[in-house]
Structure 1
Amino acid sequence: MALRDNPFGELKVPLALTAAVALLVAVVVAIAILLSDRRETLKEEAYGVTRQVGDAVAAPVSGVVAAPGRWGGQGLDALRGYFFAVSENRRLKAELKEARQWRDVALALRDTNDRYHALLGLKTEPPIPMVAARTVSDSRGPFANSRLANAGKEKNVEPGNPVMSENGLVGRIIGVTKGASRILLLTDVASRTPVMIDRTNARAILTGDGGPNPRLEYLRGKEPVRQGDRVLTSGDGGVLPRGLPVGVAVKGLDGRWRVVLASDTAPIDFVQILLFKDFTQLSASAKAELDRMDPLPPSEGAATITAQTPPPAPAPAPPFPKPAAATPLGAQARPPAAGRPAGQTAAKPAASKPAQRKPAPSTPAAAPAAAPAPAPAEAEIPH
């Protein structure tokens, strides 16, 4: 049967009816959307039912509609990764190479930062002013070992100042000019440093011989040093401060005691120059430190002085004046002896003047001792 012979071919839908049905459907959908999207309503129960129905219908429909788009995106990503794998691999390799370079730079910076922290944290007791510097050149030879630092007279550096790294003593300054100073290392043949053994307090002279491990000479005592003893500066002669770390004592192949320097554990590029002159500088700095201390409040200072000062001893009482001496018994009048004439009687002794009592003096030292009254002599009796 041909299409034109179809009985429904002549069926025509009225345009007005079609427009009315479409308008009705649109109105119903709009009302449903408005009811489901409202935030406030007077009829909460109706609002809740319509919202629930709308959500229940929209959830599966939205999932079904969005599934093809999601699957299509995943497929495109898979195709892109398959066809562009080579270019992606090249890009990742370039990023990895650059990241390795940055890693090396970060490790170097971290090491430098750690050394800066260690160098700036270097402290001496008592405190000594320091100047940070960097070695800019190295002079090596069979006998000479020295370095050139970028700090000089403008920073008050003087010949004889000790130089330290973050690990230990490096040497001392032997020459200074503006903007530079020369460091004589401990390994130089001209280097002589007074040191001591930390365990036994034995003194020695650290002598450089051009090698990496200087010798310990002029050791005295019975077993003054052992393998692994710490070696410090002794401060003898006032050349260097006492107690700076130097290294560890070891027995050399030639049978002599040598020192493995502590400064050899890291490159000698960042150093601290100690502005040390003599021990009077340390005493002056200690006095200045005491002067900077806050004084005690008046009440606390008075209480401290009162607690430390003993009470004064009581003044001795003035002595009483001595009483006058009593008249001796022999000086009293005697009765007439038997057989004597009645007219003869013993002569009376001379009456002695009573001692005058003087007022007591105000001070014990000025009080004179009262002299005793002289005893009267007895009268001779004639026979």
Structure 2
Amino acid sequence: MAFRDGPFENLKVPLAWTAAVVVVVAIGAAVLLLITDRPTSDGAAGYADARGATEAVAGPVGGVFAAPVRWAGAVTDFVGGYFFAVSENRRLKAELAELQPWRDQAIALKNVNARYEAMLGLRTEPAIPMVTARAISDVRGPFNRAKLLDVGSSKTVRIGNPVMNEHGLIGRITGVTGGVSRMVLLTDVASRTPVLVDRTDARAVLTGDGSDNPRLEFVRGVGSVQAGDRILSSGDGGGLPRGIPIGVAAKGIDGSWRVKLFSDRGAIDYVRVLLFQDFGQLIDPNALNAPPLAGLTTAPEPTAAQAGAIGDAAARRQAAAQAQAERARAAAAAPAPVATPPRPTPTPTRPVATSPRPPQARPSAPSVAAPAAQNAPAPAQPAPAPSAEGRI
């Protein structure tokens, strides 16, 4: 017998009342569960066992029913990806073409940042101010090896400043303008750099000859250089700071010692210019006056006995100076002796020629008078010459 053939065949219940009754019953059941599900004295919930059993049974059942749903979703994705693979491939190719320039720029910026970080990590002992520069032009030839840098006198760059990169010394500044400077490399024929051998501290001169490996000349000491020795700047002459790495010594084909430069390990495009003038800028004058160097630059305080001796010596020097000044004033005040003027020497008068007169007879004189006249002394002063009228 069907449900419609029973006694409730003509029974009609309003839907709203049915829903209201269901809601009320559900609310009542929820309130009852909340009230009765109070923790016990030992802290356990009232329906903990029933809840645990229900979850233990419902878990595997839910997994079994969820498996077909997951499988259906995977099959749908596979079928959708198969049918839309062509359009997805085209979209990915378009995105790859757009990202290709960005990837190249990222690689270039990464290299530049690595170079900058390496150069910023350069430290000198003691610290020397530096300026970062970029090479904007390169001059290479059989004799010339130079570069132009984009810094000049506006950045306090001067002629003679050393230039280095993250590997070692490169060259020196030989010309400066307001915004550009000229750098001569160590391989230029005009380059002369005083260097030392790190192992033996032997001195030499690094001379450029236009090749990639400059020569070591004027090496002091026999056997002071060996293959593989590190070559550093010596600082002799005050043009460069001491200890900047330059390269490694190697034997050339011609038998001379040459240097494999550290700067050849990479491109010379970003460099650091050391604003080095002389060794005076590397020393703090206040540090020289600090102990224990203070006694070497300043005189110690004299003791009481030394101060007394110094005062006595100063007093004696002052008294001697005063006495010498008194003698000088006395000598200046004494009358000077009157000097007798020399008597004038008479000028001989030239005799006047007269007419000859007849000679007269002279009395004869004894023969002894002639010798006496010859031995007679000459008069002290010559007699005045007679006038022309009184002459015979």
Q: TM-score range by the shorter chain?
A: 0.5 to 0.7
SS in structure 1 opposite 2:25?
helix
CA offset digits 1:323-347 (Å, max 9, x no partner): xxxxxxxxxxxxxxxxxxxxxxxxx
The aligned runs of 1:254-333 (5 Å cut-off) are: 254-282=254-282, 285-287=283-285
Q: Which residue of 1 aligns with 2:338?
A: none
Alignment CA distance shift 1:226-1:48 (3 Å): same
Q: By how many angstroms is 1:203 displaced?
A: 1.6
CA separation of 1:242 and 1:61: change in aligned 2, threshold 3 A:
closer
The answer to whether structure 1 residue 130 and structure 2 residue 124 are counterparts is no
How do residues 100-119 of structure 1 correspond to structure 2 at under 5 angstroms?
104-119=104-119
Q: Secondary structure at the match of 1:19?
A: coil
Per-residue deviation at 1:194? 1.1
Do the aligned partners of residues 188 and 62 (structure 1) sit closer, same or farther apart at CA in structure 2, a change above 3 Å counting? same
Q: Distance in 1 between matches of 2:116 and 2:255?
A: 38
User: In structure 1, how many angstroms separate the alpha carbons of the residues matched to 2:57 and 2:238?
Assistant: 97
Describe how 1:21-100 pairs up with structure 2 within 5 A. 27=21, 31-32=25-26, 35=29, 40-42=34-36, 44=38, 48=47, 52=51, 70-93=70-93
Distance 1:34 1:67 in 2: 36
User: Shift in Å at residue 241 of structure 1?
Assistant: 1.5
Secondary structure of the equivalent of 2:281?
helix
CA distance in 2 between counterparts of 1:34 and 1:57 reads: 26
1:234 deviation in Å? 1.4
Deviation at 1:15, TM superposition (A): 6.2
The answer to which of 259-268 and 105-114 deviates more is 105-114
> Which residue number corresponds to residue 245 of structure 2?
245
Secondary structure of the corresponding residue to residue 35 of structure 1: helix
Paired amino acid for 1:31 = V
Task: Give the 3-state SS of the residue equivalent to 2:81 in structure 1.
Answer: helix
Q: Quick one: structure 1 residues 181 and 264, their matched pair in 2 at CA, closer, same or farther if it must change by over 3 Å?
A: same
CA distance in structure 1 between the aligned counterparts of 2:82 and 2:115, rounded to whole angstroms: 49
The one-letter code matched in structure 2 to 1:197 is V
Deviation at 1:80, TM superposition (A): 0.2
Given the superposition, is the C-alpha separation of residues 272 and 106 from structure 1 closer, same or farther in structure 2, using an over 3 Å criterion? same
Q: 1:178-198 CA deviation, whole Å, 9 max, x = no partner?
A: 111110100111111111111
RMSD: 4.2
- The match for 2:120 is 120
- 1:208 aligns to what? 208
Residues 119 and 15 of structure 1: CA distance in aligned 2, closer, same or farther (over 3 Å):
same
Task: Return the alpha-carbon distance in structure 1 between the equivalents of residues 93 and 66 of structure 2.
Answer: 37
Matched-pair contact (CA < 8 Å) for 1:119–1:165: yes
Question: What letter is aligned with 2:244?
Answer: L
Matches within 5 A, 1:180-259: 180-259=180-259
In 2 relative to 1, CA 127–54 (structure 1 residues): closer, same or farther, beyond 3 Å?
A: closer
Contact 1:41 1:47 (C-alpha < 8 Å) held by counterparts:
no
Unaligned runs of 5+ in 2: 40-44, 292-299, 306-392
Once the two structures are superposed, what CA deviation does each residue of 1:233-255 show, in whole Å capped at 9, x if it has no partner?
Answer: 11122221221111101111121
1:136-215 pair list within 5 angstroms: 136-215=136-215
Q: Against the structure 1 CA distance between its residues 101 and 30, is the aligned structure 2 distance closer, same or farther, given a 3 Å change threshold?
A: farther
> Which shifted more, 23-32 or 111-120?
23-32
Give per-residue Cα distances to partners, 1:166-189, cap 9 Å, x unaligned.
Answer: 111010000000111110100111
Aligned residue number for residue 338 of structure 1: none
CA deviations on 1:67-106 (whole Å, 9 max, x unpaired) are: 7655543332122012112333444455566667655544
Q: Which residue of 2 aligns with 1:19?
A: 13
Q: Which amino acid aligns with 2:164?
A: M
The answer to whether the Cα contact below 8 Å between 1:35 and 1:47 also exists between their aligned partners in 2 is no
State which drifts further: 231-240 or 182-191. 231-240
Does the CA contact (< 8 Å) of 1:36 and 1:54 recur in 2? Answer: no
Measure the CA separation in 2 of the matches of 1:100 and 1:34: 66
| CA drift at 1:107 | 4.2
- Measure, in 1, the Cα distance between the counterparts of 2:216 and 2:63: 87
- Which amino acid letter does the alignment assign opposite residue 40 of structure 1? L
Moved more, 153-162 or 196-205: 196-205
Change (3 A) 1:174 1:38: farther
> Following the alignment from structure 1 to structure 2, what is the Cα–Cα distance between the partners of residues 224 and 105?
49
Of residues 257-266 and 78-87 in structure 1, the stretch that sits farther from structure 2 once superposed is 78-87
- % identical equivalent positions: 55
Deviation digits for residues 279-334 of structure 1, max 9, x if unmatched? 2232xx3325668x9x9xxxxxxxxxxxx99x999xxxxxxxxxxxxxxxxxxxxx
Secondary structure of the corresponding residue to residue 110 of structure 1: helix
Question: C-alpha distance in 1, partners of 2:273/2:192?
Answer: 18
Task: Give the number of equivalent residue pairs.
Answer: 290
- CA distance 1:202–1:62, change in 2 (3 Å): closer
Q: Distance in 1 between matches of 2:204 and 2:37?
A: 103
Q: 1:82 to 1:29 in 2, by over 3 A?
A: farther
Structure 2 residue identity aligned to 1:155: K
Query: Hey, what's the Cα distance between the residues in 1 that align with 2:160 and 2:32?
Result: 90
Please tell me the residue identity of whatever aligns with 1:203. Answer: R
The TM-score, its normalising length taken from structure 2, stands at: 0.61
Distance 1:70 1:165 in 2: 62
What is the alpha-carbon distance in structure 1 between the residues aligned to residue 79 and residue 27 of structure 2? 39
Name the CA distance, whole Å, in 2 between partners of 1:289 and 1:34.
91
